């Protein structure tokens, strides 16, 4: 977890600690076993998932559909994602397992296994979708998303999640808005290709999750060709489709 997320986590924990007793009367606790690491949701000192006053769970930077549906909850047969982000989870993961009814004779025939939900995650460099510092899709970007949309149409689609990221050039507030605009452009195009709008979810994370690490240290934040090229991996859009084969 980077420093910005750690600070946010501490602030959230302090705020929620003061109201924990009042909320406990209306919101069930969600406790994650100690063996789970890199959890997709913020935990308090008792390893309970922190929730706001409306019951929404606080995500961490590790959050993804795959991690949310694989994080166990003590005393529940369902993972944390089924409680915190059920609309994004494959239905088969969040529904009770069917119980076979035995009615002799004849002996019941076991139903065929349900299609196994699959998750396809694609990371597309933002420069392949947009020009630098732009949110309008380029011609090549439209081609890549058209190909992605065709693959999505082969699934019994549960959800598509598009997350935009930027590099550190520019202010934090500007980059947050830019990442959100880029994610919205991706959604608008996919919907235009026939992907149901109510199945497409977007999020912008700005410059908060760089992947270049310290590779570009020693260069200032002025907009120059060398820095732009060095920070290219940070400019990306991660698109994840969840569904089962038709």
Lowest average pLDDT, out of 137-141, 173-177, 197-201, 205-209, goes to 137-141
What was the pLDDT predicted at 116? Answer: 59
Q: Which CATH architecture has domain 118-245?
A: 2-Layer Sandwich (3.30)
pTM: 0.53
For the chain, give every domain's residue range. Answer: 3-94, 118-245
From the number of C-beta atoms within 10 Å of its C-beta (0-12, 13-18, 19+), residue 26 rates as: exposed
Kindly list the distances between the CA atom of residue 51 and the CA atoms of 22, 35, 115, 147, 202, in Å, as whole numbers in the listed order.
Answer: 12, 21, 33, 38, 21
| Each residue's pLDDT tens digit, 222-233 | 677 888 888 888
Token pair, residue 9, equals: 């986590």
Q: What is the pLDDT of residue 146?
A: 92
Q: What is the pLDDT of residues 64-95, one digit of tens each?
A: 999 999 999 998 889 999 989 999 988 888 98
Residues 141-171: tens digit of each pLDDT: 899 899 989 988 888 888 899 999 998 888 9
Check residue 7 and give its pLDDT. Answer: 36
Token match 């406790």: residue?
A: 31
Statement: residue 218 has pLDDT above 70: no
Q: CB–CB of 30/49 below 8 Å?
A: yes
DSSP states of 11-29 as a string?
A: HHHHHHHHHHHHHTTTS--
């Amino acid at each position: 977890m980077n420093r910005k997320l750690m600070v946010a986590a501490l602030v959230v924990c302090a705020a929620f600690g003061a109201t924990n007793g009042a909320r406990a009367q209306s919101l069930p606790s969600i406790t994650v076993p100690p063996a789970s690491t890199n959890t997709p949701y913020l935990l308090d000192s008792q390893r309970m998932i922190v929730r706001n006053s409306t019951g929404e769970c606080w995500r961490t930077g590790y959050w993804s559909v795959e991690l949310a549906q694989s994080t166990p909850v003590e005393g529940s047969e369902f993972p944390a994602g089924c409680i915190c982000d059920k609309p994004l989870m494959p239905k088969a993961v969040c529904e009770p397992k069917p119980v076979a009814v035995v009615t002799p004779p004849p002996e019941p025939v076991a139903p065929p296994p349900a299609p196994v939900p699959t998750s396809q995650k694609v990371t597309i460099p933002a420069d392949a979708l947009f020009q630098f510092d732009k949110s309008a899709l380029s011609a090549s970007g439209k081609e890549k998303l058209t190909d992605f949309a065709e693959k999505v149409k082969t699934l019994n689609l549960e959800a598509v999640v598009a997350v935009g990221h930027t590099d550190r050039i520019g202010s934090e507030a500007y980059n947050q808005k830019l990442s959100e605009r880029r994610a919205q452009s991706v959604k608008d195009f996919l919907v235009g290709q026939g992907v149901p709008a109510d199945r497409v979810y977007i999020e912008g994370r700005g410059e908060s999750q760089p992947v270049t690490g310290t590779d570009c240290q020693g260069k200032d934040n002025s907009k120059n060709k060398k820095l732009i090229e060095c920070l290219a991996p940070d400019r990306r859009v991660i698109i994840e489709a969840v569904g089962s084969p038709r």
